[in-house]
Structure 1
């Protein structure tokens, strides 16, 4: 488990009937092919995690607070952007027992046939709301949790992983 620090985080929602325009603006500005649904769209250090209809959690390495401002400029008139950089904490989870650990409190099927790299979910982990996405086949997962619930999530995660050492 490692905390991902220095991220720029924002929610992005397409304006009514502007999803295609928004996708084109992001392709032009960042080279990302924006996917609909619970999928992760990536371009370099930038990821757009599908969290709902025409809505994404945008995450940028070393983006800081300027990320939301720059993203809003790139999608001006096509989407709404809200800075979440101080609202979410993001953890990267990996290891041979990470699926078994998450299965103790995450009510979705994490079997590789059901949840693969690039898949995402807005779900719960032991009654704490999270955004979960699979980064690679190792498997490695990123988990975004509201900072106000981070201590509760970390407590659950440590207790769930305890049996695995």
Structure 2
């Protein structure tokens, strides 16, 4: 019996390669570390985050960034931490230990989900094709987050830059190919609609 660990594979496994004729850039952020945190926000929780050098807790429908890690609001008692894939398991263990005595759940979900990136002029319009979210610049800016449905698939997305617009979206790996194909078909130059 072999003790080798299976090689980590992209959720899209080559589906994303070679797509031409798109009006903007689409990519899978791979590999991406992800840790789900559930707890009541309070001094002990915030101290545990701070002790590991993690970003401060974001406000509702917001994200914060520190040292290359992003903490994303998912619900009043849930956050998603994005980090390097290789540090996710260790961070999850250290957070779990740091929250001893505080009701919480910390889970490394890196292999359950994938992150897609949408970058370029028309990124807002592309997301509006699949999500019932007001993405006009006055309503949605850098570090804003929405947890919603995209093409009838559960997801969350956030804005990472505004010049040109860039977003990242997290979906379950089982839906990654469907969401990718929706994005790629909708991002064809002849299919794009420009509002901004």
Same fold? TM cut 0.5: yes
Q: SS at the partner of 1:92?
A: strand
* RMSD over aligned Cα atoms: 1.7
How many Å apart are 1:64 and its aligned residue?
4.5
1:126 to 151, 159, 181: 151
Partner of 1:46: 69
Secondary structure, aligned partner of 1:104? helix
Per-residue deviation, 1:53: 0.8
Q: Is the 2:88–2:108 Cα contact (8 Å) retained in structure 1? A: no
Q: Distance in 2 between matches of 1:136 and 1:159?
A: 23
Matches within 5 A, 1:8-157: 8-15=33-40, 19-62=42-85, 63-78=87-102, 79-138=104-163, 139-157=165-183
- Gaps spanning 5+ residues in structure 1: where? none
Q: TM-score, normalised by structure 2?
A: 0.76
CA radius of gyration, larger in: 2
Equivalent pairs counted in the alignment come to 162
Secondary structure at the aligned position of 1:114 is classed as coil
Deviations 1:46-103 (A, max 9, x none): 1110000121011102434434223323434433201111010001111111111111
Gaps of 5+ in 2: 1-25
